[in-house]
Amino acid sequence: MKKLFLSFAALALVASVSSCRETTEEKAQDTMETMQSDIEDAADDVGDALDDAADATGDAFEDAGDAIEDKAEDVEEEVEDAMDN
């Protein structure tokens, strides 16, 4: 009876160690997959932010160009008015 009990205890110990190792490996793999997903999401967010910044910069240059063009037209009109007088 003692041998049977000890054999059962040893078998349970081996099973628990094996079971914990698999669980740890699965948790590590899940963590790595989560980290990879988070990194991909962060990279997408950075790409979107760069696109937005490029669009805003383009808009600012366009607005500046329009303002310069408007001022140049104003100066041209003032010169024409001055020459007519």
* CA pair distance 80, 82, nearest whole angstrom: 5
Give residue-wise pLDDT tens across range 30-65: 889 999 999 999 999 999 999 999 999 999 999 999
Domain of 52 in residue numbering reads as 1-85
**Per-residue pLDDT at 54:** 94
Which residue's entry shows tokens 């740890």?
Answer: 24
pLDDT for res 27 = 82
Please tell me whether the overall predicted TM-score, pTM, comes out greater than 0.85 for this model.
no
Check pLDDT > 60 for residue 19. Answer: no
How confident is the model at residue 34, as a pLDDT? Answer: 92
- Phi, psi dihedral angles at 33 (to 5 degrees): -65, -40
Number of domains in the chain: 1
Q: What is the chain's mean pLDDT, rounded?
A: 84
pLDDT at position 28 over 70 = yes
